[in-house]
Amino acid sequence: MCGVFGIFDHPEAANLTYLGLHALQHRGQESAGVVSNDGGTLHGVRAMGHVRKIFTREVLAQLPGRIAIGHVRYTTAGGSLVKNVQPLSAQYRGRSIAVAHNGNLVDEDVLREELEAQGAIFATMSDTEVVLQLMARSGRAAVVDQLIDALGRIRGAYSLVFTTEDKLIAVRDPHGFRPLVLGRLRSESGAWVVASETCAFDLIEADFVRDVAPGEILVIDAAGPRSVMVPPAPRRFCVFEHVYFARPDSVLDGVSVYEARIAMGEQLASEHPADADMVVPVPDSGVVAAMGFARRSGIAFELGLIRNHYVGRTFIEPMDSIRHFGVRLKLNAVPKLLAGKRVVIVDDSIVRGTTARKIVRLVRNAGAREVHVRISSPPVDGPCHYGIDTPTRAELVASGQTVGAIAAAIEADSLGYLSPDGLRAAVRQTPGFSYCDACFTGEYPVQPTRPVGRRQLRLVEV
Ligand code: AMP
C-alpha cells in the first residue's frame, strides 16, 4: 500500500513530484519522501507524516535537479520507522541510485538471509533494499543489466521507480500486480512522468500515455524512453485496487475505477436485492458502489452517514487503539433521515468486521428500523502477500464463517456480498486478462517460499 511517482527532465522536478504525491496520498499516509537528482548528486527528504506537511517551500528548495522520484507509504513490510521511509538511496561502485517501491516481495526474508550470509549489511528493514543489494552484486556494468539480474531473483509484487545519474527507470513485475502508468507533461518541457495512478497526472497537467506493461523495464533518458521486457507471466492485476484502494478518478490497465465501482454496485443490487426505503453509502469507500446499487434497485440514494474529513482513513493507522476509535471519529449518522426507515448500507469490503458493526449500531441508534448491509466485493478470507495490508486469516471476520454468522457478528438484519463472478464482470475480466483476487478466492498467483504470517511482526521491534 504505497504510491510512487517519477519525473524526467524538468527544472521543477521536485515540486512536480510533490504535487504527484499529493494526488497519491490516499495510497499511504504514514510517511513520504522525495529524492531529486542534480546531475548525478542525489538529494533526499524523507519523513513521517502527510505530503503537504513535510514538503514546505523551504524543504522543496533543498531538492534541486531535473529528475526526481517520490513515494508515499503505508507499512506492509519493514516496520513503521523513519529509516524505512522511501525512496531508498545507495551508492555502489561509483554509482548513485535511488528507488521507490509499491508492492511486496514474497521471498524477501529468504533473500535477505542469503545476502547477509555473503556479508551484506542492510541499513533498513525494507524489502526494497534487497533489490538494491542484488543490483550491487551483479557482475555486469550497465545499470539496466544489473536490474535485469536483480529482477531474475525476486518474486512478488513490485512497481518500482529508480533514478540513476542520468535516467529515470520504471519497472512493473511480470504479473502486473500493482498499477504503474506513463504520462507526459502538456507544457513545453514535455517531461516524462510515471505514477501509480492516472489521478496524479490530472493534477500536474500531464497526458496519460500508456500503462507500463507487466514485465516491462522502461528506461527514460536523454534519448527518450525505451523498453526492455523480462519474460512474461499471466496478468494478475490486483482487483482490490478497483474495489477499494485506488481513487475513482483513476483509470487502471484500461478500466475506469469509477465505472468498475458503479458496475459492482449494480451487480450487487441484482444479486442481493433488499426491500428498503433508502441506500446509504459508507463514505468515501462505499459511495460509488452505492450509486450503482441505487440506480439498479430504484431505491433512493441518501447521505445518511456524514464523514468528518479531518481524520485519516481509519484502517490505515497502524495502531490498534487508533483504529478502534476510528469509526466514531470519522462518521456520524443523520437521525432526521434515518428514523423509522429500512436502510441499505453499502460499503466496499468487510475485513475485520469492526467497522461494519459500529456503522450498523450507529445507524440503528439513529432510529433506523432495519439495517441491511451490502458489500461490493466477496468476503475477504485470505491475507494479501502482494502489498495490500490485510491482516492474518485469524483476524478476518469472514474466515471460516458463513454469511449468516458474519451478519450476526456485525448485527445486521441481512448481509449480501458481491459474488466473485459478479466482481470479475464489473472489472471486465476477460480470458486474456485475469485479476489477482487471492484475498477473496485463496488462489495465490505467486506462493511465498516460506509460509508467512503478517510479515512485519518479525520486523517491527527493531
Ligand atoms: P474492518 O472490517 O473494520 O476491518 O474495516 C473495513 C473497512 O476498511 C472497509 O470499509 C474498507 O473501506 C476499509 N478497508 C478495507 N481494506 C482495507 C485496507 N487494506 N486498508 C485500509 N482500509 C481498508
β pairing state of 300-301 and 435-436: unpaired
Q: What is the Cα–Cα distance from 156 to 158, expressed in whole angstroms?
A: 7
Q: Is 348 in the pocket of ligand 1 (CB under 6 A)?
A: yes
The beta strand positions in 304-398, using DSSP E, are: 305-307, 331-333, 342-347, 370-375
Q: What is the Cα–Cα distance from 364 to 353, expressed in whole angstroms?
A: 17
Q: What is the pLDDT of residue 391?
A: 82
Catalytic one of 2, 199, 384, 436: 2
Q: What is the pLDDT of residue 274?
A: 98
Q: Is 347 in the pocket of ligand 1 (CB under 6 A)?
A: yes
Q: Is 77 in the pocket of ligand 1 (CB under 6 A)?
A: no
Q: What is the pLDDT of residue 312?
A: 55
Q: Is 350 in the pocket of ligand 1 (CB under 6 A)?
A: yes
Burial readout 432-453 (b: 16 or more C-beta within 10 A, e: otherwise): ebbbbbbbbeeebbbebeeebe
Q: What is the pLDDT of residue 460?
A: 29
Q: Which atom of ligand 1 is nearest to the CA of 354?
A: 3
The dihedral region occupied by 9, where left means phi > 0, alpha psi between -120 and 50, and beta the remainder, is: left
Q: Is 389 in the pocket of ligand 1 (CB under 6 A)?
A: yes
What are the pLDDT tens digits along the chain (462 aa)? 899 999 999 999 999 999 999 999 999 999 999 999 999 999 999 999 999 999 999 999 999 999 999 999 986 556 667 778 899 999 998 899 999 999 999 999 999 999 999 999 999 988 999 999 999 999 999 999 999 999 999 999 999 999 999 999 999 999 999 999 999 999 999 999 999 999 999 999 999 999 999 999 999 999 999 999 998 899 999 999 999 999 999 999 999 999 999 999 999 999 999 999 999 999 999 999 999 999 999 999 999 999 988 875 444 555 555 555 557 788 999 999 999 999 999 999 999 998 999 999 999 999 999 999 999 999 999 999 999 988 888 899 999 899 999 999 999 999 999 999 999 999 999 988 899 999 999 999 999 887 654 443 333 222
CB 198 within 8 A of CB 248: no
Q: Which atom of ligand 1 is nearest to the CA of 353?
A: 2
Topology (CATH) of 257-428: Rossmann fold (3.40.50)
Q: What is the pLDDT of residue 358?
A: 94
Q: What cell was used for 108? A: 524477501
Q: Is 316 in the pocket of ligand 1 (CB under 6 A)?
A: yes
Gap from CA of 244 to ligand 1 centroid (Å): 8
- What secondary structure letter does DSSP report for 430? B
Gap from CA of 193 to ligand 1 centroid (Å): 30
Q: Do domains 3-236 and 257-428 have the same CATH topology?
A: no
Q: Ligand 1 pocket test: which of 314, 315, 346, 384 has the largest number of ligand atoms within 8 Å of its C-beta?
A: 315
Gap from CA of 411 to ligand 1 centroid (Å): 18
Q: Is 315 in the pocket of ligand 1 (CB under 6 A)?
A: yes
Q: Ligand 1 pocket test: which of 178, 331, 351, 415 has the largest number of ligand atoms within 8 Å of its C-beta?
A: 351
Q: What is the Cα–Cα distance from 86 to 14, expressed in whole angstroms?
A: 15
Gap from CA of 135 to ligand 1 centroid (Å): 36
Q: What is the pLDDT of residue 310?
A: 81
Q: Is 355 in the pocket of ligand 1 (CB under 6 A)?
A: yes
Domain 3-236 CATH (choose: 3.40.50.1000, 1.10.1200.10, 3.60.20.10, 1.10.3720.10): 3.60.20.10
- Reference 160, options 184, 177, 138, 136; nearest CA is 177
CB 350 within 8 A of CB 410: yes
Burial readout 381-407 (b: 16 or more C-beta within 10 A, e: otherwise): bbbbbbbbbbbeeeebbbeebeeeebb
CB 296 within 8 A of CB 270: yes
Q: What is the Cα–Cα distance from 4 to 169, expressed in whole angstroms?
A: 12
- Reference 346, options 284, 431, 434, 426; nearest CA is 284
- DSSP symbols for 49-91: S-HHHH--HHHHHT--SSEEEEEEE--SSS-S-GGGPSSEEEE
Gap from CA of 111 to ligand 1 centroid (Å): 31
CB 207 within 8 A of CB 259: no
β pairing state of 31-38 and 41-48: antiparallel
pTM for this predicted structure = 0.93
Q: What is the pLDDT of residue 459?
A: 31
- Reference 47, options 62, 65, 66; nearest CA is 62
The protein residue with its alpha carbon nearest to ligand 1, atom 12, reads 285
Q: Ligand 1 pocket test: which of 244, 352, 401, 411 has the largest number of ligand atoms within 8 Å of its C-beta?
A: 244
Q: Which atom of ligand 1 is nearest to the CA of 240?
A: 16
Q: Output the CA–CA distances (angstroms, integers) from residue 193 to 24, 89, 112, 325, in the order listed.
A: 14, 20, 31, 39
Residue 199 known to be catalytic: no
Q: Which atom of ligand 1 is nearest to the CA of 282?
A: 10
* Main-chain phi, psi angles of 448, to 5 degrees: -65, 145
Q: What is the pLDDT of residue 457?
A: 32
Q: Is 248 in the pocket of ligand 1 (CB under 6 A)?
A: no
Q: What is the pLDDT of residue 232?
A: 83
- For residue 284, say if its preceding peptide bond is cis, omega within 30 degrees of 0: yes
Q: Is 109 in the pocket of ligand 1 (CB under 6 A)?
A: no
What residue spans define the domains of the chain?
A: 3-236, 257-428
Q: What is the pLDDT of residue 319?
A: 58
Q: Is 354 in the pocket of ligand 1 (CB under 6 A)?
A: yes
